[in-house]
Amino acid sequence: MTPEGKKQENEQFVRRLIDLLEKGEIQPHELKAWESLEKKEKEILEKVRRITKENQRKNRIYLFAGAAIFLAISVISGYLYLSYIPKSESYSILPGNVKELDMKFGKMWINSSSKISVSDSLITLSEGEIYLKKDRAKEALIVNTPIDRVQVVSGNANIVYRKIFQRITSLGETKVYHQGRDTVNLAYGNELRSDSTTYTIRTIRSTEFVGAFSFGKIAFENESLPFVLEQLGAFYGIKINYTIIPNVLVSFIAERTHNPEPVIRQLLPQPWTLEKKGENEYFISHTPVTENLK
């Protein structure tokens, strides 16, 4: 064999050994068993060890660099993911209290005995009443209730949900997706009333009743007396009991007070009277009018 052919054979042998080592078919310690080889073969084996160690060192560097890059990407991705998730806050307002919040979209007031969760562009109203003043964000504001999905496009909106009764009053542009079936567009001054099955739309007479609780008032427009008493009970966290009550329509606006008695008495026509039965319980009784016979 010529010297050139011998050189090529040695190089092929080296490449073969390196390939076997990298695949794990030969372990480095096994090369020590070949120390009895001639000088030339020992040089070849030493070259194999040197090249193999160099490759292993490079692989470790690549591995560490890859792990560092992966870790950095994971940290950045996690930060971006957590930054993207809208932060949510929950509120449960005690009876007789009102909470005002400064939001990215504008202002929001939460009425007494209300339970909601809030993020930047999504509000979930589980129970109670909110008044929204949307004058900052261009994007529509979404409010979910147990019945409907409400989209406040612009302006103000008053949303009430208590015991499957729902009332949505628009002082701007509002869309209601009722039960996921019907889309109802509410213009300024329109009001939607609904339960779990049906809904009606009317035009309000005056805007002074809309969201009146946000400026320290208690107000009802053209509502039945039993319904008003129920709402007052929820607002103050009290029980208002009666055996019979006239189903008359009432409209009134009054200052919000910590004592519910003046407000209730203002509502009751003669001859109904109010009696306090306990710390948080009232009873409305009917006193018949008698005439003196001569």
Q: Evaluate whether 89-208 and 216-286 have a shared fold.
A: no
CA-nearest of 145, 149, 141, 147 to 119 is: 141
Chain position carrying tokens 């490079």: 58
**pLDDT tens series, the chain, 294 aa:** 666 666 666 666 666 766 666 666 656 655 555 554 555 566 666 666 676 666 666 555 555 555 555 555 555 555 544 444 456 789 999 988 899 999 888 899 999 999 999 986 789 999 999 999 988 877 889 999 998 999 999 999 999 998 878 999 999 999 999 877 789 999 999 999 988 788 899 999 888 889 888 888 888 888 888 888 988 888 888 999 998 888 888 888 888 888 889 888 888 887 888 999 888 899 998 875 444 444
pLDDT at 258: 84
Q: H helices within the chain, ranges in order?
A: 3-23, 39-84, 225-236, 261-267
CATH classification code of 216-286: 3.55.50.30
Taking a C-beta distance cutoff of 8 angstroms, is the pair 175, 143 a contact?
no
pLDDT at 65: 56
pLDDT at 52: 64
CA-nearest of 220, 213, 223, 251 to 129 is: 213
CA-nearest of 107, 159, 167, 153 to 133 is: 107
CATH class of 89-208: mainly beta
pLDDT at 196: 74
Domain positions in the chain are 3-84, 89-208, 216-286
Taking a C-beta distance cutoff of 8 angstroms, is the pair 90, 117 a contact?
yes
How far apart are alpha carbons 81 and 216 in whole angstroms?
41
pTM beyond 0.85: no
